[in-house]
Structure 1
Amino acid sequence: MEDLEIARACALYADDKKAENIRILDLRGLSPIADYFVLCTALSTPQLRAVRDEIVEQMKEQHQTPPTVKDGNFESQWIILVYGSVMVHILTPEKREYYALEELWGDAPELALTVEAPAPEPKEPKPKKAAAKKAPAKKATAKKAVKKAPAKKAAKKK
């Protein structure tokens, strides 16, 4: 998987957990620490955890790629996941506004997000087996539906 595909997949998984303001910045040629930043906002500590867990689990399950680095804790309100040259930043609104990474890396072009999941790897077609002769199917007998009698009305009022 190429770095841009990793960045877009991480953005997609963050979106699956309703992260907000998801952006991908292209830092190639601008930073020695990463080629891409994925920035997203989680509105609460449980959502911060859910976004982090979704990205980590889906990257392992779908792409066999665990993060090389997991940094930050929930109290800091800023989680960083590193996948090769891709850094994923999951921040609360307060931390995102305070650190203003988009402004710090203002020279970095923003890349379009793709909402669709990356295309799965093509699988090799299975060899076709010779068709076996089928026996004629027997007709099933229809069962008559049993009608229920309408429920008796409640006793009349006095």
Structure 2
Amino acid sequence: MEDLELARACALYADDKKAEDIRILDLRGLSPICDYFVLVTATSTPQLRAVRDEIIERMKDEHDTPPDVKDGNFESQWIILVYGNVMVHVLTPEKREFYALEELWGDAPELALTVEEPVPEPAPKAKKAAVKKVAAKKAPAKRATKAKVVK
């Protein structure tokens, strides 16, 4: 699995647990630590736990990839998961505002969370073949029989 796909998968799993303000920053060429940051806001300690658990479990189940590093605790309100060159930050709103990672890495471009499939162009309509009108054969008319008049 490529790093960008991994980052998008982590973002998707966080979104499944109703995380907010999900962003992926491309740090390639800017940081020697990792290539991508996934920044996620969890609005409460139970949601912080749920987002962390969802990412860890689904990465193991669906991609057979456990995190290389799990750091932080619920009291710190900041959890970090590292998957190779992808670093996932799950923070409460207060910690996210205080540490302002988006501003710290302001040179990093933000990437779309999902890859949109290109919409296929509609197939050109086949031209209707010219239909030659043929006169239909008429069935021979039935001859009316004359009724005999009985006197």
Scaled by the length of structure 1, what TM-score is found? Answer: 0.72
**Deviations 1:52-100, CA, capped at 9 Å, x for gaps:** 0000000000000000000000000000000000000000000000000
Q: Structure 1 57/115 Cα, relative in aligned 2: closer, same or farther at 3 Å?
A: farther
Structure 2 distance, partners of 1:18, 1:25, is 20
Instruction: Give the aligned partner of residue 132 of structure 2.
Output: none
Residue in 2 aligned with 1:51?
A: 51
State which structure, 1 or 2, has the greater radius of gyration over its C-alpha atoms: 2
Q: Could you tell me whether the CA contact under 8 Å between 1:12 and 1:115 is conserved in 2? A: no
Secondary structure in structure 2 of the residue aligned to 1:76:
coil
Q: Distance in 2 between matches of 1:30 and 1:12?
A: 24
* Structure 2 residue aligned with 1:151: none
C-alpha deviation, 1:8, in angstroms: 0.1
- Partner-residue secondary structure (3-state), 1:14: helix
User: Which residue is 1:64 aligned to?
Assistant: 64
One-letter identity of the residue aligned with 1:102:
E
SS at 1:33 equivalent: coil
> For 1:33 and 1:104, how far apart are their aligned partners in 2?
14
Q: Secondary structure at the match of 1:114?
A: coil
Q: How many residues align?
A: 116
| Counterpart-to-counterpart distance in 1, 2:60 and 2:114 | 20
| 1:65 aligned counterpart, secondary structure | coil
In structure 2, C-alpha distance between the alignment counterparts of 1:115 and 1:89, rounded to whole Å: 21
Q: Which residue of 1 aligns with 2:37?
A: 37
Structure 1: tracts of 5 or more residues without a match = 117-158
SS of the counterpart of 1:81? Answer: strand
- Deviation per CA, 1:16-73, whole angstroms, max 9, x where unpaired? 0000000000000000001000000000000000000000000000000000000000
Map residues 73-112 of structure 1 onto 2, 5 A cutoff. 73-112=73-112
Q: Which residue of 1 aligns with 2:6?
A: 6
Q: Distance in 2 between matches of 1:33 and 1:3?
A: 13
Runs of 4+ residues over 6 Å off in structure 1? none
CA distance in 2, matches of 1:92, 1:21: 11
Question: In structure 1, the residue corresponding to 2:38 is in which secondary structure?
Answer: strand
Percent same amino acid among aligned pairs?
88
Q: Distance in 1 between the 2:49 and 2:97 partners?
A: 19
Query: In structure 2, how many angstroms separate the alpha carbons of the residues matched to 1:14 and 1:2?
Result: 19
How far does residue 114 in structure 1 lie from its aligned partner after superposition? 1.2
Amino acid at match of 1:5: E
Structure 2 SS opposite 1:30? coil
Please, what is the CA RMSD of the aligned residues?
Answer: 1.1
